[in-house]
Amino acid sequence: MKALNLYSKQDVRFEDVDIPEIESPDEILIKVKVAGICGSDISRFGKLGSYQPGLTWGHEFSGVVAKRGDAVSSIDIGDRVTACNCFPCNECNYCKKGMYSRCNNLRVLGGHKKGAFAEFIKVPVANVVKIPSTMDFETASFIEPSSVVAHGYNQLKIKKGSSIAVVGCGTIGLLAVQWAKIYGASEVFAFDTDTGKLDIALQTGAHHGICANKDNYLQYFMAMTENAGVDVVIECSGSAVGISTALMLAKKGGTVLLLGIPYGDVSFPRESFEKIIRNELTVAGSWNSLSAPFPGDEWRTSLHYLSSGDINVKPLITRRIAMAEAPSVFPKLYNREEFFVKVLICMVNKNDN
């Protein structure tokens, strides 16, 4: 079969590899239909390289069950599925408490195990999530990033009617905008430096899109909130500027959730840090998408809201490519040579969706 293998920084290859074999009675072999390119994939391509040079990467995907182990009875060949991309150790104290995102030895697809940028992928049946026949494969590939956002919201105590600001409108931020509505936000502010992304934020439920490139954007925002700020800020960029901005947006006694992943050291102005102290802010972190029972309610609720249409991912899909195109596309994504939110690697026929 064909697969995308990451060897080192900016070295991804489209290669022939063996189709994974079912080795354990609880394993499932999935024929991949759609795989999404995550922001972390782009950063790993450009800055970090692979944990294991030559490993097949990718972790957001959907497909059809092609084979199953002898012990599998809950999943049938031909079922439409996605799968959780994480493998907790089930032995550490956090796993024993069902806090799988805090696992001391967490392993992930595309980082430690062969990932989804391939024609076939093998996972344990415990990781598999069935998708309904009414859900297309493209939408199903968003269940994983949606679960990451849902896990973040689950760290907070959000009251209906709260005001929420989302900083950074990539895939995670734009999903956070839509989850804010599900949590009953009365007003949603979206912040980004890209007006194209802000347009999508407004299309998917934000009440206000504020361009952080403008000199007076903070004054403009504070005027809109009567100099109070918002109840909750969801920081999705992972950048130092984004984190600094997030701390300035929260009202006194408010909460800032750090959801974006930084890929370098983070520092920010003293004024932003003092906001934590003087405004008695709660700063929370969130990692991954897991809870008990594994893989967690985050996955089940994401499946529900994507199925119902309460979360609409179609405006987020910027481009669809074939797997063979990816080695030439990744440098363009990393260097921001074109506008994009979500790029999908598609291996489906027109009639598959």
Looking at residue 63, what is its pLDDT? 98
Contact 5, 57 (CB under 8 A): yes
Evaluate if residue 327 carries a pLDDT over 70. Answer: yes
pLDDT, tens digit (0-9, with 9 covering 90-100), for 264-297? 888 889 999 999 999 999 999 999 999 999 999 9
Looking at residue 70, what is its pLDDT? 97
Distance CA 301, CA 304 (A): 5
pLDDT, tens digit (0-9, with 9 covering 90-100), for 200-218? 999 999 999 999 999 999 9
CA angle 338, 236, 196 (to 5 degrees): 35
Please report which confidence band the pLDDT of residue 352 belongs to, taking 50, 70 and 90 as the band edges: low
Looking at residue 318, what is its pLDDT? 97
Whether the ω angle into residue 295 lies within 30 degrees of 0, i.e. cis, is: yes
pLDDT, tens digit (0-9, with 9 covering 90-100), for 29-81? 999 999 999 999 999 999 888 889 999 999 999 999 999 999 999 999 999 99
Looking at residue 48, what is its pLDDT? 84
Residue 1 DSSP class: -
- Rounded mean pLDDT of the chain? 96
Domains of the chain: 2-146+289-346 (3.90.180.10), 156-285 (3.40.50.720)
Looking at residue 264, what is its pLDDT? 82
Distance CA 160, CA 175 (A): 18
Burial of 76 (0-12, 13-18, 19+ CB in 10 A): exposed
Could you write out the DSSP letters of every residue in 145-196?
HHHHHHHHHHTS-PPTT-EEEEE--SHHHHHHHHHHHHTT-SEEEEEES-HH
Q: What global pTM score does this model have?
A: 0.96
pLDDT, tens digit (0-9, with 9 covering 90-100), for 105-133? 999 999 999 999 999 999 999 999 999 99
Residue 136 DSSP class: -
For 353, what's the count of Cα atoms within 13 Å in the CB-facing half-sphere?
A: 14
The stretch 139-155 carries a mean pLDDT of 98
Q: Which distant-in-sequence residues (6+ apart) come within 8 Å of 283 by Cβ? A: 247, 255, 256, 258, 276
